[in-house]
Amino acid sequence: MKKNLILCIIVSLIFCSCASLNTIKKGKESGEYRLYKTSFDNAWVYSLKIFRESGITIEEQNQMTGAIIGSTPAQMGSYGSYIGVWIENADKGFTKVTVYNRRVLATQLKAGFTADDFFARLDRYVAAEN
């Protein structure tokens, strides 16, 4: 009896700590951001390109709000992850890019595609522009 109760608690905790697209949509304020010396339009095009090249499925995109929400597929050691990118005009010719990502299951070892992965690729695109 106690074993079943403990097992139920463990399974509940695992599933309660799962990420979803709604988690990502609400995560903008918790995301990591960087400022880039590029236009909103260029940051938008680069971000879509990064999603495509990285095998991220675009679940939602809205250029008016600057939001791109996507998911990565399950791979060896990972059940996949969700990633949100928000692009905004900032002061003096800069564009603010915010990235928030979460693993599908909090207990998985690999995070899949991370904010650091995204920023590393965006850094290269913006550097090539200048």
Residue 14, in any domain of the structure: no
Q: Which domain holds residue 72?
A: 19-129
What tokens were used for 11? 């399974």
pLDDT tens for each residue of the chain, 130 residues long:
555 544 433 443 334 334 444 555 666 778 899 999 999 999 999 999 999 999 899 999 999 999 999 987 766 555 677 889 999 999 888 999 999 887 665 544 555 678 899 999 999 999 998 7
Residue 67, in any domain of the structure: yes
Residue 10, in any domain of the structure: no
Report in angstroms the alpha-carbon separations of 109 from 59, 70, 72, 124: 24, 20, 15, 27
**Cα–Cα distance between 110 and 115 in angstroms, integer?**
13
CATH number for 95: 3.30.310.80
Q: How many domains does the chain have?
A: 1
Do the beta carbons of residue 46 and residue 66 sit within 8 Å?
A: no
